[in-house]
A and B are shown apart, each in its own frame.
Chain A
Amino acid sequence: MTATAAMPELRPWRGRPVIADPRVRWGLGIGFALYLAAAIGTIDVNWQRVWEGLDRGWAFLAAFGEPDFISRWRDISEGLIESLTMTVVSTALGIALSVPVALGAARNLAPLPVYLFCRGIITLSRSFQEVIVAILFVAMFGFGPFAGMLTLSFATIGFLAKLLAEDIEDIDRSQAEAIQATGGSWLQWLNYGIQPQVMPRLIGLSLYRLDINFRESAVVGIVGAGGIGATLNTAFDRYEFDTAAAILIIIIAIVMVAEYASGLIRQRVQ
């Protein structure tokens, strides 16, 4: 109560805006709004076509109400098995290739030339979307799951090697140093000093990649790289929306199961 007497004079304080200069702040805001308005203005919508398409869209959605698993079951099951095979093989191959690339792409393990080479591989793999790579491999090796498998393996390297290399760069150096001090060889050093530190991450990323690869296997199938995607594409081409709906439901179910299972396993290895 008497403390008010000793109160210092009121000094206002307000949070600092991200951009200090108000002219720049308002300029950027207004500029962005104008660009957005202009950009929306350039989108040319054929409303009549949209109206007609609604019907077809509705037919497609309605097919989900009565998906047809039966009449094309043979095609669906073949496509599924092909996709699952493609997924497992390409993930395994991708991991096997990613580990050495990741070791080379970790600056604390590899000398500069090796580092640059491995980073180059990663960048190359990451800069092309799976569909583009799949088109290339289909052109090189013909239609079918082999092209799809190569595509997914190649894409796995960019993903797994990059994230694993970052994890290797973040290890606790003293643990690795202690193994070095025992006089073990380089490989023993990797096995005892590095691997235990990055193993949970490697397992987690691999499982994550497994379900990405399954989803991608459906996409690359559309450009001719085999698997369930090819089946799905055929169903669309024939306007068999009930079959397409069945395929999509199966894909969703498998992705959900894979995600749930990999979540459980990742929890266990931490």
Chain B
Amino acid sequence: MLTLKALTKRYKTGDLALDSVDLEVARGQVVALIGPSGAGKSTMIRCINRLVEPSSGDVELDGEVITRLGAGGLRRARRRMGMIFQEYALVERLSVMENVLSGRLGYVGFWQSWFRRFPGTDIAEAYRLLQRVGLEDHYDKRADELSGGQRQRVGIARALIQDPALLLVDEPTASLDPKTSRQIMRLICELCAERELAAIINIHDVALAQLFVGRIVGLKSGRIVYDGPPDGLTPEVLTTIYGEEDWTLAKPGLSGGDTGGGSGEDERVAGAL
């Protein structure tokens, strides 16, 4: 469904952030993208919806070559790619409802959005999504009144109301505590399963990725150095991705001390189809 072909990004400063990356993601598949800071994870998901303009290579979504679209075509294509951000990136002075409905901007006209006259179906869907993420009572609050975990839930609702085929998720848990991180990851993965959404999730926390996601892609210096199941992340592989370190100390699945919840296997979303 999503195909990256020799995707390359070289910044004006000369840094090669992505070095001819090839990747294929099937419908409904959730992929965790791991790698050290500066490996190009963030650049990669931003090249997919062209918030960062790739230098060369192609991005294809359901047969449409996104990298060749003009401005209007790109806006239409972006509607099908929901994005979730590290620091939530909610518009802080807007209400929760306005933030969620901003996910519909690609579908409504300017004056409709200016006067906040969204179609009834959009508003109903917004209420439904807020209920799904557990925030049904907060719709009239300003976004900056919410806690971190609540904000990220609004961010998720905003991405989902776009009715996307693909979620681009940039470090969703980096600003959250361990318990909230797990809840957010679980929510994202459940929603992907419910709606057959494909997702690419940038994540620093390898154990968390292994706990929830069925396919892991390791990025290092702009190249894919690992692509496989979570169990394949042996100390040797982690050394290839991140560099030398005593990886046995961070044995996957054993790191989480909270609630002693079920084994990782049960939580995983069906990956690698």
Please determine whether A187 and B89 come into contact, CB atoms closer than 8 angstroms. no
Q: Which B-chain residue is minimally distant from A200 (CB atoms)?
A: B93
A112 CB → nearest B CB, Å: 15
Please determine whether A184 and B91 come into contact, CB atoms closer than 8 angstroms. no
A208→B97 CA distance, assembly (Å): 32
Q: Given the complex, which residues of B lie within 8 Å of A185, measured CB to CB?
A: 75, 105, 110
Interface assignment of B181: CB less than 8 Å from any CB of chain A? no
Q: Knowing A184-B113, A191-B114, A192-B105, say if A178 contacts B85 (CB, 8 Å).
A: yes
Interface assignment of B241: CB less than 8 Å from any CB of chain A? no
Q: Which A-chain residue is minimally distant from B79 (CB atoms)?
A: A183
Q: Knowing A174-B85, A177-B51, A178-B83, say if A183 contacts B77 (CB, 8 Å).
A: yes
A58→B87 CA distance, assembly (Å): 65
Q: Knowing A174-B87, A191-B114, A192-B113, say if A183 contacts B105 (CB, 8 Å).
A: yes
Interface assignment of B123: CB less than 8 Å from any CB of chain A? no
A179→B106 CA distance, assembly (Å): 10
Partner of A183, one of B86, B87, B106, B155: B106
Interface assignment of A181: CB less than 8 Å from any CB of chain B? yes
A177→B102 CA distance, assembly (Å): 12
Interface assignment of B47: CB less than 8 Å from any CB of chain A? no
A183→B81 CA distance, assembly (Å): 9
Please determine whether B51 and A182 come into contact, CB atoms closer than 8 angstroms. no
A133→B93 CA distance, assembly (Å): 39
Interface size on A, residues (CB 8 A): 22
Interface assignment of B173: CB less than 8 Å from any CB of chain A? no
Q: Knowing A183-B105, A184-B75, A184-B106, say if A191 contacts B49 (CB, 8 Å).
A: no
Please determine whether B77 and A197 come into contact, CB atoms closer than 8 angstroms. no
What sequence of 0s and 1s flags, for each residue 34-70 of chain B, a beta carbon within 8 Å of any chain A beta carbon?
0000000000000001010000000000000000000
What sequence of 0s and 1s flags, for each residue 163-185 of chain A, a beta carbon within 8 Å of any chain B beta carbon?
00000000010110111111111
Q: Which A-chain residue is minimally distant from B71 (CB atoms)?
A: A186
Partner of B49, one of A181, A189, A197: A181
Please determine whether B113 and A179 come into contact, CB atoms closer than 8 angstroms. no
Interface residue ranges of A170-227 to B (CB < 8 Å) = 172, 174-175, 177-185, 187-189, 191-193, 196-197, 199-200
B144 CB → nearest A CB, Å: 11
Please determine whether B89 and A178 come into contact, CB atoms closer than 8 angstroms. yes
Q: Knowing A174-B85, A177-B51, A185-B75, say if A193 contacts B91 (CB, 8 Å).
A: yes
A184→B104 CA distance, assembly (Å): 8
Interface assignment of B76: CB less than 8 Å from any CB of chain A? yes
* Residues of A contacting B: mostly: helix
Q: Knowing A191-B114, A192-B102, A199-B93, say if A182 contacts B78 (CB, 8 Å).
A: yes
Please determine whether B158 and A182 come into contact, CB atoms closer than 8 angstroms. yes
Interface residue ranges of A217-266 to B (CB < 8 Å) = none
Q: Given the complex, which residues of A lie within 8 Å of B93, measured CB to CB?
A: 196-197, 199-200
Please determine whether B89 and A188 come into contact, CB atoms closer than 8 angstroms. no
Please determine whether A182 and B106 come into contact, CB atoms closer than 8 angstroms. yes
Q: Given the complex, which residues of A lie within 8 Å of B236, measured CB to CB?
A: none
Partner of A181, one of B83, B90, B91, B104: B83
Interface residue ranges of A24-39 to B (CB < 8 Å) = none
A89 CB → nearest B CB, Å: 25
Q: Given the complex, which residues of B lie within 8 Å of A184, measured CB to CB?
A: 75, 102, 105-106, 113
Interface assignment of B136: CB less than 8 Å from any CB of chain A? no
A188→B158 CA distance, assembly (Å): 15
A188→B105 CA distance, assembly (Å): 7
Interface assignment of B1: CB less than 8 Å from any CB of chain A? no
Q: Given the complex, which residues of A lie within 8 Å of B86, measured CB to CB?
A: 174
Q: Given the complex, which residues of B lie within 8 Å of A192, measured CB to CB?
A: 91, 94, 98, 102, 105, 113
Please determine whether B78 and A183 come into contact, CB atoms closer than 8 angstroms. yes
Given A182-B103, A182-B106, A193-B91, 9 additional A-B pairs, CB 8 A? A175-B89, A175-B91, A179-B91, A180-B51, A180-B78, A181-B82, A182-B162, A185-B110, A192-B102
3 closest residue pairs by CB, A with B: A183-B106, A184-B105, A183-B78
